Amino acid sequence: MTALPFALNHMAAPGLPLDAFFELAKSLRISAVEIRNDLSGNAILDGTKPEDVKALAEKHGMTIISINALQRFNEWNEARETEARDLISYARDCGAKALVLVPVNDGSGQKDGERQANLRVALKALKPLLDTAGLIGLVEPLGFEICSLRSKSEAAEAILEIGAATFRLVHDTFHHHLAGEDSFFPELTGLVHISGVSDGAVAVSEMRDPHRILVDAADRLDNAGQIRRLRAEGYQGPFSFEPFAPSVHALDDPAKAIAASMEYLESRT
């Protein structure tokens, strides 16, 4: 198979300003990046204009594959619509290709029937906004037991019903493992988030974002196996590093650590 098309989420080095983050990706020969709207003191929250983000990306030869993310997207209301319109406008103007859509993750909206209905209400409302801007909506089920959208199967069903030209799935290797779902939907997948858990003491049901490190040989999530299967079944898109662990964020040399993880995954897939 061809080399893995890696991407870099700003969560891999959230302390770096955008210019330095793009430079980090470039040094790793990565040209696809995800920017975030939840990093204080950084674009987007610091007020950086989208046109300036676009210019920076062009300077470094980066493609912004997504803005991550519209939170609680499946709790559609007036405030969410306003937030969505603002994020979609920013994504369009900075040259991003897609907007990640993250579901409610606080234990509410989980009832059978309710969660499927809420998902459809949100997707139907988002579709014309995304279509007008020329963006893809990337639906990311979360494997946490309190999440209102754990199942990729449920998300895929709604996407096929409402607009597979507008929406794609995010396959997150961490959340896929936590959800315990065997279904893969390579033909509907627009992005893969990769992170590993090597802590042998934590139960799967207790795994949380701070456990998520760069994938290494001690990985308990079988990132390599998930990647092999996705590619074997036809997925050709990017694999984006998204580690949340403070230990990763504190690294003095993130390039070296990311390169080591890239090398490991290349050797196993």
pLDDT at 258: 98
- Given the structure tokens 């509410």, which residue do they identify? 108
Q: Is the dihedral of CA 59, 102, 163, 176 positive or negative?
A: positive
**Is the sign of the CA dihedral 29, 35, 41, 47 positive or negative?**
positive
Q: What is the mean pLDDT of residues 78-94?
A: 98
The model's confidence at residue 94, banded by pLDDT at 50, 70 and 90, is very high
C-alpha to C-alpha distance for 68 and 207, rounded to whole angstroms: 21
- Break the chain into its structural domains and give their ranges: 6-268
Question: What rounded mean pLDDT belongs to the chain?
Answer: 97
**Alpha-carbon span 251 to 7, nearest angstrom:** 19
6-268, what's its fold? TIM Barrel (3.20.20)
Peptide bond before residue 96 is cis, with ω within 30 degrees of 0: no
Percent pLDDT > 90 in the chain is 98
101 CB-side CA count, 13 A:
31
Mean pLDDT value of segment 123-148? 98
Can you give the pLDDT at residue 153? 97
Q: Is the pLDDT of residue 2 over 70?
A: no
Q: Taking every pair of C-alpha atoms in the chain, what is the biggest distance, in angstroms?
A: 48
The mean pLDDT of 199-225, rounded to a whole number, is 98
Does position 43 have pLDDT exceeding 90, yes or no? no
**Model-wide pTM > 0.85:** yes
Q: Is the per-residue pLDDT at 1 higher than 60?
A: no
- Encode pLDDT of 155-171 as tens digits: 999 999 999 999 999 99
Residue type, 243: P
